[in-house]
Structure 1
Amino acid sequence: MELRHFRYFVAVAEHGSFSGAARTLRVAQSAISEQLTNMEREIGVAMFLRSTRRTALTSAGELFLIEARRVLAAADHAIEVAQQTHRGELGTLRIGFFAGGMGVDFPSLIQTFRKKYPGVRLSLVEMISTLQWVALREGKIDVGFSRRLEPEFRSDLKSEVIQQDAIVAILPKNHPILKGSKPGSPCRIDLRDLANEPFVLSSRETSPAVFDKVIELCSEAGFSPRIASISSVWSSVVLMVQAGEGISLLPLNQQQFRTPDLAFCPLKAKNAFVEFVMTWHTKRDSNLIRSFRELVRQRSVR
């Protein structure tokens, strides 16, 4: 039995005649009659009481009509689900992010996407950039928010710059270089003035783009940083600066402003920034991922 048998049956039942069903379905009356006769023969039960005036349903036919409508509704729903999935309106989207780099107002972005696509289930996974790239390659997440891709991942993954995050110098507020600075006024640092300072850096293993940028900036300023300590997360770096282990260079993170005993000073170097990018796998792209990317583009600040 095929779906057309159910559609023919429901049409005849609702019109009370084969001719009425034929006009609605735009199918020859003889074809409908033949198909429904075959259906009755296959089921082994008479569904219609046929007469020259009107075609009525048997008691079995009346109950079969209820189930036939359910079958057709389920089929229509299945078609709609497939179409919505194809349009990127249904499915599951797994997003990787790291807490130190959510410059696109991440919570609001997620809330907006959920409202716009209520049929999509979002799964948020916090992980450092390097782990995101591995997860994207292995199909464990669909979209990532990370730093610039390392060369070894660029053949499989594609990225799009969302914004450029400024690198700032993080110093104790009582640091000698800040003497004479007016409270509340922005302090701009020339890196050459920090050449003799001990540095606390974010590790290259967890944040290669940031580590490499710090080394690059110091090299352009004419020195190699004297590394006193290395940590895997920015919060630990900030904690070490607070403890007097040294100064640091990190991408500006709004959460850092909650540290009142530290100063976060912009650098005078024009290239003192790292890229914040959205990444995805080139071979696993979909309309759902494209819908999410489009929303990110609309809300990003370049």
Structure 2
Amino acid sequence: MDLRQLRYFVAVARERNFTRAADMLHIAQPPLSRQIQLLEEELGVTLLTRKSRPVRLTEAGRLFYEQAMQVLGRVEQMREATRRVGLNQQSVLSIGFVASTLYGGLPTLVRKLRQHAPHLDIQLLELMSMQQIQALKEGRIDIGFGRVRHADPAVASIVLREERLVAAIPQETPLAADASPLPMKALVSQRLIVYPKEPRPSFADQVLSLLHDHDVRPPEVQEVREIQTALGLVAAAAGVCIIPSSARQMRNDVHYRLLEGKHVTSPVILNHRANDNGHYIDLIKQLIQEMYAENPPWLGLEHNLPFRPSFAK
């Protein structure tokens, strides 16, 4: 499999027609068809239903199309970033993040970083926690903000804070009649919605492990891909979802209750390559310390345990 085959497949998937795709790619149709066939043979699945007019994607084809678009988009980013660096136009810093960190300090940090390093090209990539570890080792990102602890010696980690967890509850249900902290045992009979569905381990596993530690086994667990979907299902009264406290601002059509317990938290973790002491890594650590000294609302005890990170070298 090579990038040319990915581009050929994306062209056919977009045009839904081999002739138009071949014209767009400025090649003849037979070699285009042959490359798609070779791709399918390598994958061992059918990507396109050729007998229909227009050509249709199979289920496998739809998934492969989405992934191919991401790969080609990332390749284009790499090309442009490398060109800028090679021409001494800009340095590039790629930051991986999990979605829930957008409701804490990440936006403020990025704004401060742009102010202190205006010529730095900052690229933000949404990646699950464990995806960030692999991306760091492969050099696809330079720093990551995740929630899952790991033991990979190639990646250094600093816990920035221990964020408290809340239960997102459908409105007009018995649990929504109270605003006081919710005992974990109260979730015993509740349908649970967890995210992300994959890759694992993830925040979903943190939640399930926490419930297990409190001897809470929900009668039904629904897994979804992202926090936005999970909260949408809560609003539709499909179940209860446990989320980081700062993310409660995402929707105002559900009821939130802090969960009882000192250790009912989720860490926010800064990850970077071990022994990477580059200027921008140190700058980010400095800016985080400055942010914490300002005591912003998202850092208050309503959302977090009294904890401050240590950046000792």
Normalised to the residue count of structure 1, the TM-score between the two structures is 0.62
Unaligned runs of at least 5 residues, structure 2 = 1-89, 293-298, 300-307, 309-313
CA distance in 2, matches of 1:168, 1:103: 14
Residue 277 of structure 1 deviates from its aligned partner by 0.9
Instruction: Report the counterpart of residue 220 of structure 2 in structure 1.
Output: 227
Residue 144 of structure 1 deviates from its aligned partner by 0.7
Q: Which deviates the most, 142-151 or 265-274? A: 142-151
Instruction: Report the counterpart of residue 106 of structure 2 in structure 1.
Output: 106
CA distance in 1, matches of 2:103, 2:141: 20
**Could you say if the C-alpha distance between residues 258 and 290 of structure 1 is closer, same or farther in structure 2, counting changes exceeding 3 Å?**
closer
- The structure with the larger Rg is 1
Residue 111 of structure 1 deviates from its aligned partner by 1.9
The alignment of Structure 1 onto Structure 2 pairs a total of residues equal to 206
Q: Secondary structure at the match of 2:243?
A: strand
Q: Identify the match of residue 245 of structure 1 among 238, 241, 245.
A: 238
Letter in 1 for 2:171: K
Instruction: Report the counterpart of residue 123 of structure 1 in structure 2.
Output: 123
CA distance in 1, matches of 2:230, 2:284: 33
Residue 244 of structure 1 deviates from its aligned partner by 2.2
Root-mean-square deviation (CA, aligned residues, Å) is 2.3
Residue 103 of structure 1 deviates from its aligned partner by 5.1
Q: Secondary structure at the match of 2:239?
A: coil
Instruction: Report the counterpart of residue 279 of structure 2 in structure 1.
Output: 287
Q: Over residues 23-67 of structure 1, what are the superposed CA-to-partner deviations in whole Å (9 max), with x where a residue is unaligned?
A: xxxxxxxxxxxxxxxxxxxxxxxxxxxxxxxxxxxxxxxxxxxxx
> Contact (CA 8 Å) 1:129, 1:207: kept in 2 or not?
no
Instruction: Report the counterpart of residue 278 of structure 1 in structure 2.
Output: 270
CA distance in 2, matches of 1:228, 1:103: 25
CA distance in 2, matches of 1:196, 1:203: 22
CA distance in 2, matches of 1:226, 1:298: 45
**Could you say if the C-alpha distance between residues 173 and 219 of structure 1 is closer, same or farther in structure 2, counting changes exceeding 3 Å?**
same
Instruction: Report the counterpart of residue 153 of structure 2 in structure 1.
Output: 155
> Contact (CA 8 Å) 1:94, 1:143: kept in 2 or not?
yes
**Could you say if the C-alpha distance between residues 257 and 290 of structure 1 is closer, same or farther in structure 2, counting changes exceeding 3 Å?**
closer
CA distance in 1, matches of 2:181, 2:173: 14
Letter in 2 for 1:282: A
CA distance in 2, matches of 1:109, 1:277: 14
Q: Which deviates the most, 262-271 or 237-246? A: 237-246
**Could you say if the C-alpha distance between residues 242 and 139 of structure 1 is closer, same or farther in structure 2, counting changes exceeding 3 Å?**
same
Residue 209 of structure 1 deviates from its aligned partner by 4.5
> Contact (CA 8 Å) 1:160, 1:278: kept in 2 or not?
yes
2:167 counterpart of 1:169? yes
> Contact (CA 8 Å) 1:209, 1:274: kept in 2 or not?
no
Quick one: percent identity of the two aligned structures? 22
Residue 239 of structure 1 deviates from its aligned partner by 1.1
Instruction: Report the counterpart of residue 291 of structure 2 in structure 1.
Output: 299
Residue 108 of structure 1 deviates from its aligned partner by 2.5
**Could you say if the C-alpha distance between residues 102 and 198 of structure 1 is closer, same or farther in structure 2, counting changes exceeding 3 Å?**
same
Q: Which deviates the most, 159-168 or 285-294? A: 285-294
Q: Identify the match of residue 195 of structure 1 among 188, 195, 205.
A: 188
Residue 102 of structure 1 deviates from its aligned partner by 3.1
Unaligned runs of at least 5 residues, structure 1 = 1-89
CA distance in 1, matches of 2:206, 2:186: 18
Residue 140 of structure 1 deviates from its aligned partner by 0.9
> Contact (CA 8 Å) 1:103, 1:163: kept in 2 or not?
no
CA distance in 2, matches of 1:165, 1:102: 13
CA distance in 2, matches of 1:171, 1:104: 21
